[in-house]
Structure 1
Amino acid sequence: MNKDIKKIADGIRRRVLEFTIRNGGGYLSQACSSAEILATLYTKLMNIGPSVAPKIPPAFTGVPSKNNREYFSGYGYNGPKEPQLDRFFLSPVHYALVLYATLVETNRMAAEGLEMFNKDGFTVEMIGADHSPGHELMSGSLGQTISQVLGIALARKRKGETGKNWLVMSDGEFMIGQTWEAIETLSFYKIDTVNVIIDANGQSADGKIDTVNQIEPLKKRLESFGAVAAEVNGHDTKQLIDAANTPHESKPLFIIARTIPYQGIEILKKRAPKFHYIRITNEQEKEELQQFLHERFGGDGQ
């Protein structure tokens, strides 16, 4: 693995683990599974410009309206919107803290911004919104963002824009009918500027996906809907990069990144099969995580 990407991925996990310890819980398994995906996107795959947003996120100015001229999007942390540049979208917005940590690790946001997380009056939302750092859309329920990206990509194609549209999804979203409707529509309009990376960690809010619904064989299903699909180890940077270079003329590309919900923080393995939200329920659990943090990352979680 590229050393720089590994350092960023480790930094993402460390920051989310520190937060989880301090606050008694957090979406920690999502950091474990997606750290290499986001680190690779921001350092190797996406053609985006430097951040045009303030290093410390501003306070929330209210929802957009004709009377609110101070409204802003959090997209500026991903650079300017230019025809030749790529755009980034996050569908499972409960991964928001993971994205904020990525922005910090890639020097797009100040670490002080994480102190605003989930606090009234700030934009660093627990569930990312369109005004949150690194976000462009109010994604809504899981499975809706791919339809929004479809519309944006189609509009960009008709305007002659050449930038790609990168979307991170969770595998649980493939239990949702709207996801498949969007895929067949992407295929119908021959939109090959949409690249989707699926964090396939096998988990949902209700436990393991295969105990809730069946989405496999996912690669064959995606191909049957007209997409090009590749399947890789989502913790292997080289495999992610190679998959992103898969030819897919006139078709959307889906990369199924098979990941582990305790990768890099193996102490979480004993919590199986429930990983969706890591809640610290007693002092012993907190002390164990603090010790792991100190031994693995050199932090104390305070």
Structure 2
Amino acid sequence: MSIPNCQTTEDVAAGIRRRVFLHSMRNNGGYLSQACSAAESLALLYNEVLKLGEPTLPKVPLPFAGVPSAHNPDAFTGAGYHGPFAPEYDRFIISPAHYALVIYSALIQMGRMDEHALDHFNRDGGSVEMIGAEHSPGMEVTTGSLAQGLSMGSGIAWARKRKGEPGKVWVYMSDGEFQEGQTWETLAAMSYHNIDNIRVIVDVNRQQCDGAMSSVLDLGDLPARVAAFGATTCSINGHDLEAMRDAANSAEPGKPLVILANTSPFQGMPYLQKRFPRLHYVRFKSKAEREEMQTAIAADLGVDLAEI
């Protein structure tokens, strides 16, 4: 973190949830449960852990400038909101692109992006996409369909290690990505090549598009499986900031670090339990349901209904 601020990490997490909630209510739906599960881990990363430079892109994001190519000098990636690439700075790869609104809210809360950036959310020709791509704020690479961020992050980390750069590579993942073979191949490669400058945080909220993961493809003993691939593995309460701090400092020489942050998809918004297991994307079936939800969650988050 390089932009001075007087917020506690708890304040940042609360701000992320409030921003995602307000945007979702104003736009008749959104990725609410991802803000519930990810707020603390993202707040800790942005407010305490990541070593980032000053943003290099405007606080109100630019329109989409086309895909990168030798013939498109105007193309850019959203990594500019994390500052310049430099040996001493960390790199942050966000693998679950559907967490984009949560990332945008974190960037706004940290002063890296203007709150009016969300005026451009999901607009034709814009870069503030609902499902983030490499040009979206905070996104360095396109990581979908799903589970491609760890592979790219590990490649960046390996290259940085070979060049002797002190900066780390942090990768943010969702637990559903462990249903993809590419994730396990990458874990094996990271351990084999002793890529120890990479740090991985996994949002283990046990939810996916089709419902609870246990009803789709259960992961079993995930900590044991990850550790068996040679990674230093920490399984913690993802809403416990002290546990997160300890885990972030538990890397071992010669081994990648994987932090399994066990979270709740309705943390801070208990009303969402009523929708279980349909939590991946929250939209409203009726005006009455919308009003009931916004009243209940606003009370939980301390949001004035007049703001909606």
State TM-score, norm by structure 2.
0.95
Tell whether 2:253 aligns with 1:246.
no
In structure 2, what is the equivalent of residue 298 of structure 1? 303
Distance 2:18 2:304 in 1: 8
Aligned residues: 301
Q: 2:140 aligns with which of 136, 142, 151?
A: 136
AA of the residue aligned to 1:202: R
Task: Write the distance in 2 (CA, Å) between the matches of 1:151 and 1:193.
Answer: 11
Indicate conservation of the 8 Å contact 2:201/2:260, yes or no.
Answer: yes
For residue 143 of structure 1, report the CA deviation from its aligned partner: 1.2
Three-state SS of the structure 2 residue aligned to 1:118 is: coil
8 Å contact from structure 1 (residues 172, 203) kept in 2: yes
Does 2:227 align with 1:227? Answer: no
| Conserved? CA contact 1:56–1:110, under 8 Å | yes
Deviates more, 1:18-27 or 1:228-237: 18-27
Q: Is the 8 A contact 2:129 2:136 kept in 1?
A: yes
Deviation at 1:132, TM superposition (A): 0.6
1:194-273 mapped onto 2 (5 Å cutoff):
194-273=198-277
Q: Deviations over 1:73-125 (max 9, x none)?
A: 11111111111111101100000000000000000000000111100111101
Matched, 1:155 2:159: yes
Structure 1: which 5+ runs fail to align? none
SS in 2 for 1:288: helix
Q: Tell me, what secondary structure is at the counterpart of 2:277?
A: coil
Q: Distance in 1 between matches of 2:22 and 2:296?
A: 11
1:192-230: per-residue Cα shift (whole Å, max 9, x none)?
111000000010111111111121211111111010100
Deviation of residue 67 (structure 1)? 2.3
Higher-RCO chain (CA-CA 8 Å, sequence separation at least 6) = 1
RMSD of aligned alpha carbons: 1.4
In the alignment, is residue 4 of structure 1 matched against residue 20 of structure 2? Answer: no
1:72 aligns with 2:76: yes
Q: Per-residue deviation at 1:64?
A: 1.6
Q: 1:38 maps to what in 2?
A: 42
Asked whether the 8 Å contact 1:143–1:173 carries over to 2, the reply is yes
Shift of 1:142: 1.1
1:13 matched to which residue of 2? 17
Structure 2 partner of 1:84? 88
Task: Say yes or no: does 1:164 pair with 2:193.
Answer: no
> 1:215, 1:294 → 2: CA distance?
34
Give the Cα–Cα distance (whole angstroms) in 2 for the partners of residues 176 and 247 of structure 1: 25
Tell me by how many angstroms 1:3 deviates: 7.0
Q: Distance in 1 between matches of 2:226 and 2:294?
A: 41
Instruction: Find the aligned partners of 2:223 and 2:289 in 1 and give their Cα distance.
Output: 38
1:51 is displaced (CA, Å) by 1.6
Question: What residue is the counterpart of 1:97 in the other structure?
Answer: 101
Task: Could you tell me which runs of 5 or more consecutive residues in structure 2 were left unpaired when the two chains were aligned.
Answer: 1-5
Superposed CA offset, 1:182-201 (max 9, x none)? 00000000001110000000
Q: Would you say the 8 A contact 1:293–1:299 is kept in 2?
A: no
Q: How far apart are the structure 2 equivalents of 1:244 and 1:137?
A: 23
Separation of aligned partners in 2, 1:83 and 1:134: 19
Stretches (4+) displaced over 3 A = none
Distance 1:287 1:202 in 2: 28
Q: Residue 63 of structure 1 corresponds to which residue in structure 2?
A: 67
Which of 53, 58, 65 in structure 1 is aligned with 2:57? 53
